[in-house]
Amino acid sequence: MTSYRQPGVVLTDHTFDVPLDHARPDGERIEVYAREVVASDRADAELPWLLYLEGGPGFGARRFVGRQAWLGRALKEYRVLLLDQRGTGRSTPANRQTLPLRGGPREQADCLAHFRADAIVRDCETIRARLTGGAPWTVLGQSFGGFCLTHYLSTAPEGVRTALFTGGLPSLDAHADDVYRAAYPRMRRKVEAHYARYPQDVERARRIAAHLAEHGPVTLGGGYRLTVEAFQSLGILLGSGEGSHRLHFLLENAFVRTPDGHELADAFREEAHALLSYAGHPLYALVHEAIYAQGGRPTEWSAQRVRGEFPEFDAERTLAGDAPLLFTGETVHPWHFDVDPSLAPLRETAELLASRADWAPLYDASRLSGNAVPAAAAIYHDDLYVDTAHSLATAEAIRGLRAWVTNEFEHDGVRASGGRVLDRLLALTRDDL
C-alpha cells in the first residue's frame, strides 16, 4: 500500500486480487483498485467505512482533489473507499487493447458477461472481508452505483450498514425496452427545456445537422467520425446541472468562415470529440444495455429498436421540415461501433452481448421487501438517465427506504450540491428529519 497527501486528506492505494468469475474462485484472477481517503486530522482514528460506487457502467471512481463535492461531508465521520469497479480506472482494464488477449469476440463477450452489478458486488464483499475485518460499511451508490447497491441489498445485505442512493434506483423487473420507452419522452422534454432557455440554439443545432447531412461525416480527433446521429447524442449533457449551458456554449461557436466556405471549427471539433469518444470508458458502450438484462431475454440493441417508435428523433425527417432537432441522451447504438475507433474493433463482441439471453436476475424483490438496512434515496424528478416512476416503484418495494424526491438538482446532484444531498440522506436514515 502507498499513502500520500492532498490538501486536508491522506490517500492510500489498495489493490485487491479477485476472481474474474466468482463462481470459479480457483480460476482466472483480476485486479480491482480502490483509493482510501481519510481526513488528515483523523488519519489514525478508528472510523467506520463508507464505500462509494460510481455511476456508469464503465467509469472509474471520480478523482477528487482534497475534500471536493460530497467528500468533505463524508470525511467528517467516515473513512472513504473510492472503488474503481472491475475493468475501470486502475483496475485490470477491459478495452480494445486488452480484450484480444482473451481470444476472439466470443471469448471477449464471455469475459464481459462478468462485468455487471452481480460481479461488482461480489468484489465488494471480497474487499470488505479484507479491509474492514468483516464489519459492514455504509454504501453510497450514484446512478449505476445505486443499481449495484440494489443488488447488494438483494444478495448480501449483511455487508451494508446503511444504504444511500443518489439517482440510482433501478426498476426491479423492467426489460431494456421498457427503460428506453420511458427514456425517449424524457429526452424530448429535456431538449424542449434547453431550447426554451436558449431559443437561439434551435437554428444552430439544425444548421450543424444540415451541414453534416449535406457534406457527410466530419473526422474529429483520433479518427472519430461525427455523423448526424453522433451529433444528436450530445444531448447526454442535458442530464447534468450545467449540461444545458455547456451544450449552448458548444453550439454558439460551431462554424468558422474559410476560403472554401463555412466549416465546423477546430475548437468545436476538439470539444465534441472529448464529449463523444468512448476511449476513456469503453465498458459503458459494451455493457450498458446489459445492466438492464435479466429474465432470459436479450437486449438486441434495445435503444436503437425503440428509437424507431419515436420518429420525432429522426434527423432526416426533422431537416425535411421546420421542427427543432431533437438530441438524444443515454443510449448506445450499433453505429457507435462504426464511428468511434476505440469501439470499432469490438463491434462483433458487442453484437454477441446484445444477443445474449442467459443473463441472471439482478434483484430479489422478496428479499428487498424484508429489508432491514437503513436506506434513503435521492430521486431527481424527471432525471434524464433514470426514470422517476421506476425509481419510485422500487423505493416502495424496498422495506424501510425513505425517498426524497426533488427537482432542485439534476442527476449529478450528489456532486453538484457539495455535501447537502449526502447530508440529507444520512439524516433520513437516522430519523433526524
For the annotated catalytic residues, the residue numbers are 143, 358, 411
Distance of CA 5 to the CA centre of its chain: 28
Are 12 and 2 within 8 A, CB to CB? yes
- 423 residue type, one letter: D
Name the grid cell of 237. 449533457
- 32 to each of 46, 64, 85, 94, how far by Cα in Å? 24, 19, 7, 12
Other beta carbons less than 10 A from residue 3's beta carbon = 11
**DSSP label at 386?**
S
Angle at 66 between CA 60 and CA 67, to 5 degrees: 90
Q: For residue 422, what is the enclosing H or E element?
A: helix 420-429
Name the grid cell of 143. 446512478
Compute the distance between CA of residue 274 and CA of residue 342 in angstroms, rounded to an integer: 13
- 37 residue type, one letter: V
Side-chain half-sphere exposure of 273, counting CA atoms within 13 A: 20
Compute the distance between CA of residue 354 and CA of residue 367 in angstroms, rounded to an integer: 29
Q: For residue 405, what is the enclosing H or E element?
A: strand 402-406
Q: Is 167 left (phi over 0), alpha (psi -120 to 50) or beta?
A: left
Are 378 and 421 within 8 A, CB to CB? yes
Kindly compute the dihedral angle of the four CA atoms of residues 151, 329, 185, 182, in this order, to the nearest 10 degrees: -20
Angle at 122 between CA 116 and CA 123, to 5 degrees: 90
Place of cell 469518444: 277
Compute the distance between CA of residue 124 and CA of residue 112 in angstroms, rounded to an integer: 18
Name the grid cell of 15. 489493490
Angle at 254 between CA 249 and CA 255, to 5 degrees: 145
Name the grid cell of 218. 466530419
Compute the distance between CA of residue 139 and CA of residue 145 in angstroms, rounded to an integer: 9
Q: Could you check whether the bond before residue 324 is cis, i.e. omega within 30 degrees of 0? A: no
